[in-house]
Structure 1
Amino acid sequence: MANTDHGRPTLEAVAARAGVSRATVSRVVNGQTTVDPGLRRSVEAAAAELGYVPHAAARSLVTRRTDSVALIVPESPTRVFSDDPFFPGVIRGVAAELEAEGKLLVLMTTGTSTSHRRVERYAAGGHVDGVMFASVHDDDPLPGLVARGGVPVVCNGAVPGLDAPYVDVDHVGGVRLAVEHLIAQGRGTIATIAGPQDMVAGRQRLNGYMATLAEAGRQPVLAVGDFTHESGAATMRRLLVSEPELDAVFAASDLMAQGALAALRAAGRSVPGDVAVIGFDDITSASYSDPPLTTVRQPITEIGRTMARKMLSLLEGEAVAAETILPTELIVRESA
Structure 2
Amino acid sequence: MTLTRLGSGSMPTVTLDDVARAAGVSRSTASRAINGGRKVSPEAQRAVDDAVAMLGYSPNPAARTLVTRRTGSIALVVPEPDARILSDPFLAGLLRGVSDGLTGTDLQLVLLISRQGERPGRTARYLRGGHVDGAIVASHHEQDHLDDQLADAALPVVFVGRPLSDSGLHYVDADNVAGGAIAARRLLERGCRRIGTVTGPMTMPGGLDRLAGWEQEMTRAGRATDAVTHGDFTVEGGARATVELVEAHPDLDGIFVASDLMALGAMQVLTERGVRVPEDIAVMGYDNLGVAERTTPRLTTVYNPLVEMVAAATATLLDMVDGAPAPAGPQVLSPYLVEGGTA
> Which residue of the partner structure matches residue 149 of structure 2?
145
Which of 229, 234, 239 in structure 2 is aligned with 1:233?
239
Structure 1: stretches of 5+ with no match in the other structure: 1-8, 33-41
Aligned to 2:221: 216
Instruction: Determine the structure 2 residue equivalent to 1:285.
Output: 291
Rounded Cα–Cα distance in structure 1 between residues aligned with 2:144 and 2:29: 43
Q: Note the alpha carbon deviations across 1:24-62, whole angstroms, 9 max, x for none.
A: x98675349xxxxxxxxx999875444121122220111
Change (3 A) 1:112 1:163: farther
Q: 1:121 to 1:249 in 2, by over 3 A?
A: same
Distance 1:46 1:184, change over 3 A: closer
Whole-angstrom CA distance in 2 between matches of 1:16 and 1:94: 34
SS of equivalent residue, structure 1 residue 281: coil
Aligned-residue offset at 1:136 = 0.9
Match for 2:100: what amino acid?
A
Q: Does residue 1:254 correspond to 2:260, yes or no?
A: yes
Give the counterpart letter for 1:260 in structure 2: A
Correspondences of 1:1-336 after superposition (within 5 Å): 12-14=13-15, 30-31=31-32, 48-82=53-87, 84-114=88-118, 118-159=122-163, 160-220=165-225, 221-319=227-325, 320-336=327-343
Residues 16 and 27 of structure 2 are in contact (CA less than 8 Å); yes or no, is this contact kept in structure 1?
A: no
Aligned counterparts of 2:240 and 2:91: Cα–Cα separation in 1 = 23
The amino acid across from 1:322 in the alignment is: G
Residues 153, 274 of structure 1: CA spacing in aligned structure 2 closer, same or farther, 3 A cutoff?
A: same
- Asked if structure 1 preserves the Cα contact closer than 8 Å seen for 2:158 and 2:313, the reply is yes
Count of residues in Structure 1 that have an aligned counterpart in Structure 2? 315
Give, in angstroms, the shift of residue 332 of structure 1: 1.5
Q: Secondary structure at the match of 2:332?
A: strand
Q: Would the aligned equivalents of 1:138 and 1:199 in 2 still touch at CA under 8 Å?
A: yes
Query: For 1:113 and 1:137, how far apart are their aligned partners in 2?
Result: 16
**Contact 1:30 / 1:59 at 8 angstroms: preserved in 2?**
no
Q: CA deviation at 1:241?
A: 1.4
| Cα shift at 1:142 | 3.0
Encode CA deviations 1:218-257: one digit per residue, 9 max, x unaligned. 0011111111111111111122211111100000000111
Distance 1:191-1:147 versus aligned 2 partners, 3 A rule? same
The letter of the residue matching 1:136 is: H
**Distance of 1:15 and 1:309 partners within structure 2:** 28
Would the alpha carbon gap of residues 265 and 61 (structure 1) be closer, same or farther in structure 2, given more than 3 Å must change?
A: same
**Amino acid corresponding to residue 206 of structure 1 in structure 2:** L
Q: RMSD value over aligned CA atoms? A: 2.8
Deviation at 1:121, TM superposition (A): 3.7
Distance apart, 1:191 and its partner CA: 0.4
| Cα-to-partner distance string for 1:293-328 (whole Å, 9 max, x where unaligned) | 000011212221111011012122223242011111
Per-residue CA distance 1:124-155 (angstroms, 9 max, x = gap):
22121101100111121234333433111110
Given that 1:248 and 1:277 are in contact with CA atoms closer than 8 Å, whether structure 2 keeps it comes out as yes
Identity level (%): 38
The amino acid that maps onto 2:86 is: F
* 8 A contact 1:133–1:143 mirrored in 2: no
Identify the range of structure 1 (235-244 vs 196-205) with the bigger mean alpha-carbon deviation: 235-244
One-letter amino acid of the counterpart of residue 203, structure 1: L
After TM superposition, the structure 1 stretch with the greater mean CA deviation from structure 2, 107-116 or 323-332, is 107-116
Q: In structure 1, give the amino acid aligned to 2:300.
A: T
Residues 1:245 and 1:49: Cα distance change in structure 2 (over 3 Å): closer
Measure, in 2, the Cα distance between the counterparts of 1:206 and 1:70.
30
Counterpart contact for 2:261–2:291, Cα < 8 Å? no
SS in 2 for 1:226: coil
Compute the TM-score of the two structures, normalised by the length of structure 2.
Answer: 0.84
**8 Å contact from structure 1 (residues 93, 303) kept in 2:** no
